[in-house]
């Protein structure tokens, strides 16, 4: 087992990794930017080291500075968390060159699955159903037009090197294709330094379902019950729950088996998530795989009573998967992402938190690095906290989530808590009949009223 881990991240995920490491008896090193000098992750680690200015490209994305920090502190391993360098295959390669373990899958696997178009081709070989779409990268409008006509509108343009909704555009008709193609290319190039796009068929009123997997170096693999991620705005997840109201036990087993088989096919090692689109006929199609821990991992932990981060660390240390096949989930869990943003315009709302109290109680989990008196910097993701509930039934989990959000007291910055409460009380959400268009429609109705 490792004796010391450097956490190449910030915020709530840095604290989450720190907690798991400490419980495993591993010392932690926090890296922080100049704007994060007063952050909780820096103050609670066993050691801390500044890696650069506030700008992410000069700190949390600065591989030489992070590696130097690891070598100076005599670290055994580096955990990337999510975001920043978590899915950059160059990072684990450099770690290996410097004799540092990387808490995540091999660089070769990250390279395959990080290229969304290549991932499609590999999953096709693995016999996973994939969405109808382009056979390769679409370099120009002429090729995009030809492919779109072949598969039929609506379509979705996707950045080959991307994620998180960047470089994605839904196109419903030919006249708007050229403009949307140019916008998606520019956004992809700006976000990822790569303008490459591919095209997929876009299914209306579909569900976004993901399957968490864990696999060790000896090939032991386990897939977990699905997470429903259909409450999203501009392809950014806002609220997740498990299990899904849309997936029955037969389909669940089928999707888990598909994800496990895919992990075996690419010799995956670590935590990973396979994301699927499920249509109105309950056919499922592979969309992408995330080669890292997911933001929404807490709800899987709550229904299974496990610690996924510990498993991830232990797998990277060469240990066997500790979770047994056949483990069953219990109850229902919901995660609400609380962002520092205007609930109406969605504009970021950085600033000083004047007063802050989170709720507690049975079945409530708070993942956060925020504290009273802390100034939320404008340079990074706006996530303040993840408020998760767990209860025997979905109805009880919803009530717990609503109560927790209503009892969250945060003064000084605007948050999206009003939006979350609006979602949780919506009749379609309560009935479980929502889809990926649900939140956009809810926002549109509110704006027009």
- In 3D space, the residue among 305, 222, 304 whose CA is nearest the CA of residue 259 turns out to be 222
What is each CA distance from 419 to 195, 415, 448, in whole angstroms? 33, 9, 16
What is each CA distance from 449 to 164, 280, 347, 446, in whole angstroms? 30, 29, 20, 5
Q: Give the right CATH number for 132-201 from 3.30.1490.20, 3.40.50.450, 3.30.365.10, 1.10.287.3510.
A: 3.30.1490.20
Quick one: how far is CA 284 from the chain centroid? 20
Query: Domain 207-448's class?
Result: alpha beta
Q: So what's the pLDDT on residue 164?
A: 65
Active-site position among 120, 252, 292, 394: 292
| Segment (H or E) for 383 | strand 383-391
5/33 Cα distance (integer angstroms): 18
Residues in the chain, overall count: 449
Across 73-102, b (16+ Cβ under 10 Å) vs e yields: bebbbbbbbbbbbbbbbebbbbbeeeebbb
Q: Please indicate whether residue 292 is annotated as part of the active site.
A: yes
Q: So what's the pLDDT on residue 437?
A: 94
Q: So what's the pLDDT on residue 167?
A: 84
Q: So what's the pLDDT on residue 449?
A: 65
Provide the CATH topology of domain 4-103: Rossmann fold (3.40.50)
422/418 Cα distance (integer angstroms): 6
Q: So what's the pLDDT on residue 216?
A: 97
Q: For 137-170, how does the pLDDT look when each residue is reduced to its tens digit (9 = 90+)?
A: 998 999 999 999 999 999 999 988 766 677 889 9
User: 223 has which bridge partners?
Assistant: 213
Q: Taking the complete model, does pTM exceed 0.75, yes or no? A: yes
Domain boundaries, the chain: 4-103, 132-201, 207-448
Cβ neighbour number for residue 279 with a 10 Å cutoff: 16
Q: So what's the pLDDT on residue 144?
A: 93
Those residues whose C-beta lies under 8 Å from the C-beta of residue 276, and which sit 6 or more positions away, are: 208, 209, 210, 211, 255, 284, 285, 286, 287
294/298 Cα distance (integer angstroms): 9
Those residues whose C-beta lies under 8 Å from the C-beta of residue 386, and which sit 6 or more positions away, are: 12, 295, 296, 298, 335, 336, 337, 338, 365, 366, 367, 368
> Is residue 387 a contact partner of residue 423, using CB atoms and an 8 Å limit?
no
Q: So what's the pLDDT on residue 204?
A: 85
Ranges under pLDDT 50 in the chain: none
């Amino acid at each position: 087992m490792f004796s010391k881990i450097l956490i190449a991240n910030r915020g709530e995920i840095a604290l989450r990794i720190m907690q798991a490491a400490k419980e495993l008896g591993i010392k932690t090193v926090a890296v922080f930017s100049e704007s994060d000098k007063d952050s909780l992750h820096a103050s609670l680690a066993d050691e801390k080291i500044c890696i650069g200015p506030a700008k992410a490209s000069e700190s949390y994305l600065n591989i030489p500075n992070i590696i130097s920090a690891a070598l100076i502190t005599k670290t055994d391993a580096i955990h990337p968390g999510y975001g920043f360098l978590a899915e950059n295959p160059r990072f684990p390669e450099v770690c290996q060159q410097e004799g540092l373990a990387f808490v995540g899958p091999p660089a070769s696997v990250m390279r395959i699955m990080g290229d969304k178009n290549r991932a499609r081709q590999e999953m096709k070989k693995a016999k996973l159903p994939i969405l109808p779409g382009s056979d390769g990268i679409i370099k120009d409008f002429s090729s995009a037009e030809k492919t779109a006509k072949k598969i039929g509108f609506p379509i979705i343009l996707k950045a080959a090197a991307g994620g998180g909704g960047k470089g994605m555009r839904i196109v419903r008709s030919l006249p708007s294709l050229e403009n949307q193609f140019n916008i998606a290319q520019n956004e992809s190039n700006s976000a990822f330094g790569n303008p490459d796009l591919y095209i997929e068929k876009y299914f209306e009123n579909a569900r976004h379902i993901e399957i968490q997997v864990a696999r060790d170096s000896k090939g032991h693999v386990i897939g977990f019950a699905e997470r429903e991620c259909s409450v999203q705005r501009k392809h950014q997840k806002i609220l997740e729950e498990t299990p899904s109201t849309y997936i029955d036990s037969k389909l669940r087993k089928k999707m888990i088996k598909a994800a496990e088989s895919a992990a075996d096919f690419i010799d995956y090692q670590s935590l990973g998530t396979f994301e699927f689109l499920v249509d109105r006929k309950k056919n499922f199609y592979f969309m992408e795989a995330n080669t890292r821990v997911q933001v929404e991992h807490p709800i899987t932990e709550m229904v299974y009573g496990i610690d996924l981060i510990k498993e991830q660390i232990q797998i990277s240390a060469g240990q066997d998967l500790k979770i047994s096949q056949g483990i069953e989930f219990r109850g229902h869990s919901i995660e609400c992402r609380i962002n520092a943003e205007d609930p109406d315009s969605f504009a970021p709302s950085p600033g000083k938190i004047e007063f802050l109290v989170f709720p507690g109680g049975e079945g409530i989990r708070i993942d956060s690095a925020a504290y009273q008196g802390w100034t939320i910097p404008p340079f990074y993701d706006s996530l303040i906290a993840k408020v998760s509930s767990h209860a025997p039934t979905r109805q009880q989990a919803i009530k717990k989530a609503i109560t927790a959000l209503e009892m969250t007291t945060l003064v000084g910055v605007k948050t999206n808590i009003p939006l979350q409460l609006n979602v949780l009380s919506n009749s379609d959400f309560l009935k479980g009949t929502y889809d990926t268009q649900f939140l956009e429609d809810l926002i549109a109705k509110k704006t027009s009223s």
